[in-house]
Amino acid sequence: MSSTKLLTLKTSDGEEFKLDEAVAVKSQAIKNMVEDDCVSNAIPLPNVDSKTMTKVIEYWKKHSEEGVSKDQLNDFDKGFLEVHHSVLYDLLLAANYLNDKELVDVICQEVADRIKGKTPEEIRKEFDIKNDFTPEEEEKIRQENAWAFD
Amino acid sequence: MEGTDQISKLPEPILDHILSFLYIKEAAKTSTLSKVWNSAWTSLSCLDFGDNYLHKSKNIVDQILANRLNQKIFIKRFRVNLPNYRSKAVDDWIKVLVTCNIKELFLDVGVYTYNKFPEAIFAAKSLNVLSLRGFKLELPSNGVKFYSLRELHLDDSFLDEQLLQALCAICRDLEVLSFKRFHGLISLQVAGTLSKLRKVKLQFCPPKFKNVDIVAPNVKDLYISSFGLDLHVIEITACKSIKHLKLTAVAVSDQWLEELLPNLLSLEVLYLDHCLSLKIVKISSYRLKLLKVYACYNLVAVDLDDAPSLLRFSFDVHHGKKRLLGYFDTLPIFKLKASQLLEAKIKLIPDPEALDTHWYSKLTESLGNFNNSRAITLSCDYDEMIVIPKDMRENLLPPLYGTKCVHIKIMDRMNYSVKDVVDSLLWISPQLDTLSVDQGRRLNSLIKFTYRDVANEDEKPCCASLPWKCWRHELKKVKLQNFTRTELEKLRNYFLTNTDTLDIIEDPPECSSALHF
């Protein structure tokens, strides 16, 4: 039995998650707290709800597993990110708050991939973006960046 | 909540980060999405123009840079390919970028143009990564001032000893030095000032390049490849943290290697490629896990007795005539402790016109060195190379009688069916548990063997001359996966005719179109 320490994380809706310290320190924020020695009680995470935390922990655990090949991890990531964009935002904000650069990058890459190759109309549709330009304003900006649209 | 525009409510730095994963052209399109997005685009700090650069784009780059300069935005990354090099354009851009505290700069003008890179770059205090292709870098009159430089990548570029020494003395945070097809330097000397240096890559050293002398106690990755086979002097014993070492076409001697390895206590991966001065390779390395020895045509012996952690050994076997190199007759002698953990990967490269008895006995002898290994992977171009003629089999001993797992990859199948390949491999390794064949399809073809339990001690060995029970009598069950219908039929007949009672399990054959890409 290894002597890894267990940390307790408490989410905004009061739920507690117990996690190996070795896994939890994927979050730079948690790592800093561990190093500053303020983790005797549960670590409060007021900006993350339990639903999102569950997903984050799922990601952390998979990426801490031994003997997982690169291909297997890629497959996992693909499935993990195949969610509605609203789920991605919660994940992204949580990863940002927890300061897990790797997870932030992975999610941003996914969002960027969903933007690539689409026309502005298609992007608006994909992400439910509200167009707050007047037709004249929009045309003006399009002219300014005409080179991007050829 | 679905239907609400959540993405536009993400914090600005996050939107900026998302856009940084897009090339400029795609990112610019988002300017028309909404006001928030236009704002994110105009303040985008990562300007990556990708591989495409249109002739008329200079104005666009100027415009975008001017805009960032006006807003006093710090530019994190700037990447441009500039095939029709214009020095005035680059001068202007560098001035703006330095003012905007550029962190990562990537500029590619194609092959070496002899054009001097603007001196202004040496004053870029925030610069972390500099990656250039096709420029000449000279020691600037005002000195080197980019103290934060962490990575220097030079491709098809010129730098001289003076500049390198200045970099080593001043850029104490350097982590990566990568020079490819470079000009100017005739030696690489790093004298211990770079304590953060972790990776050094010297690729395609020019003909006059003669000498490498690196003192860097924290370097983990070191790759050296040379064009002219002239690189003789490599002094790296002081790089005690080396984990991955790759040497291609360098003229290092047996003695050099033997003296070096015990100093590299962290070495895990060693590649020796086209090292024609090596004759007897003796590996003494406690931690070495992976060894690749390819195209070292003058190799006579390989001694792996003192490599207790070795998990994988890859090498190639030559035979016959090799253009410009003469005739390969002898086989290197391998010395290694039969390791249950070792996986041997062997590339068979005989001259296709010289598949004679010499080849087959050489092959058998070569394989015999790796009996009892955990797994053997063979690769060859034609199946003929691995199908040992039946008359020869009578006079040879199966080399891999203790091996349980064989994988074979055949690039072009020519004369035989898969059944003949399987037959030959079953002679080579008669007690297999798994045989896997890569025929260039999506999935490898797989055969799994199950044997009868050894029930009766008194049972006489079936084939008197062999010290093991032969598969023809001991095989209980065979499972075939990912073969075509025709192959299954042939294999089924083969196994049924060669064994007594046998259980054959076949995965339903995929239709041919699914097997081929």
What pLDDT score does B516 carry?
Answer: 41
What pLDDT score does A5 carry?
Answer: 84
Per-residue model confidence as pLDDT tens digits over B415-445: 888 899 999 999 999 989 999 999 888 889 9
Q: How many angstroms separate the CA atoms of B170 and B41, rounded? A: 36
Percent of chain B whose predicted confidence (pLDDT) is above 70: 92
Measure CB to CB from residue B34 to each of A108, A130, A148 and give the nearest one. A130
Q: Is A145 on the interface with B (CB under 8 A)?
A: yes
Q: How many angstroms separate the CA atoms of B8 and A89, rounded? A: 10
Q: Is A115 on the interface with B (CB under 8 A)?
A: yes
Q: Enumerate the residues of chain B whose CB falls inside 8 A of the CB of residue A129.
A: 5, 7-8, 33-34, 37
Q: How many angstroms separate the CA atoms of B295 and B281, rounded? A: 13
What pLDDT score does B133 carry?
Answer: 92
Measure CB to CB from residue B28 to each of A113, A132, A148 and give the nearest one. A148
Q: How many angstroms separate the CA atoms of B160 and B151, rounded? A: 17
Q: Enumerate the residues of chain B whose CB falls inside 8 A of the CB of residue A123.
A: 29-30, 33
Q: How many angstroms separate the CA atoms of B453 and B459, rounded? A: 12
Q: How many angstroms separate the CA atoms of B402 and B305, rounded? A: 19
- As given in the structure block, the two tokens for residue B94 are 């560098």
Q: Enumerate the residues of chain A whose CB falls inside 8 A of the CB of residue B19.
A: 112
Percent of chain A whose predicted confidence (pLDDT) is above 70: 98
Supply the DSSP symbol for B198. -
Q: Which residues, in sequence order, are CB contacts of A137 under 8 Å at separation 6+?
A: none
**Residue of A102, A104, A116, A128 for testing the chain B interface, max B β-carbons within 10 Å:** A128
**For the whole model, what pTM was predicted?**
0.86
Q: Closest-CA residue in chain B for A132?
A: B34
Chain A, window 71-100: residues with a beta carbon less than 8 angstroms from a chain B beta carbon: 84-86, 89, 92-93, 96
Q: Is A131 on the interface with B (CB under 8 A)?
A: yes
Strand-pairing partners, residue B199, are B176, B221
**Averaged pLDDT, A87-114:** 94
Chain B, window 22-51: residues with a beta carbon less than 8 angstroms from a chain A beta carbon: 22, 24-26, 28-35, 37-38, 41
Q: Enumerate the residues of chain B whose CB falls inside 8 A of the CB of residue A150.
A: none
Per-residue model confidence as pLDDT tens digits over B246-282: 999 998 999 999 999 999 999 999 999 999 899 999 9
Strand ranges, E, within B120-238:
129-133, 135-137, 151-155, 158-159, 176-180, 183-184, 187-191, 199-205, 211-215, 221-226, 233-235
CB contact under 8 A, B5 and A116: no
Strand ranges, E, within B369-433:
375-382, 405-412
Q: Which residues, in sequence order, are CB contacts of B441 under 8 Å at separation 6+?
A: B482, B515, B516, B517
Strand ranges, E, within A35-120:
43-45
CB contact under 8 A, A115 and B26: yes
**Residue of B2, B5, B16, B33 for testing the chain A interface, max A β-carbons within 10 Å:** B33
Low-confidence ranges of chain B (pLDDT < 70): 1-3, 52-56, 228-229, 323-326, 329, 338, 454-466, 509-517
Per-residue model confidence as pLDDT tens digits over A12-66: 999 999 999 899 999 999 999 888 887 777 888 999 999 999 999 999 999 999 8
Pick the closest to residue B273 from B316, B244, B312 (CA basis): B316
Q: Enumerate the residues of chain A whose CB falls inside 8 A of the CB of residue B7.
A: 85, 89, 111, 127-129
Q: Enumerate the residues of chain A whose CB falls inside 8 A of the CB of residue B62.
A: none
Supply the DSSP symbol for B248. E
Per-residue model confidence as pLDDT tens digits over B351-406: 888 888 888 988 998 899 898 888 999 999 999 999 999 999 988 889 998 899 99
Q: How many angstroms separate the CA atoms of B435 and B480, rounded? A: 10
What pLDDT score does B321 carry?
Answer: 75
CA distance A116 to chain B (A): 6
Measure CB to CB from residue B32 to each of A84, A92, A120 and give the nearest one. A120
Q: Provide the 10 A C-beta neighbour count for residue B167.
A: 21
